[in-house]
Amino acid sequence: MSKYELAVVVNAQIDDEARTAVVDRCKALIERYDGVISGVDDWGKKKLAYEIQKMNEGFYYFIKFDAEGSAIAEIESRMRIMDNVIRYLCVKQEEA
- Among 41, 24, 39, 33, smallest CA distance to 1 is for 33
At 55-70, the pLDDT tens digits run 999 999 999 999 988 8
Separation of alpha carbons 78 and 80, rounded Å: 5
**What is the reported pLDDT for 69?**
86
At 25-66, the pLDDT tens digits run 999 999 999 889 999 999 999 999 999 889 999 999 999 999
Instruction: Give me the number of domains the chain comprises.
Output: 1
- Among 58, 49, 44, 67, smallest CA distance to 86 is for 58
Instruction: Write down the pTM of the prediction.
Output: 0.88
- Among 53, 74, 64, smallest CA distance to 8 is for 64
Q: Are 23 and 41 contacting, i.e. CB atoms less than 8 angstroms apart?
A: no
Domain with 19, as residue range(s), is 2-92
CATH code of the domain containing 61: 3.30.70.60
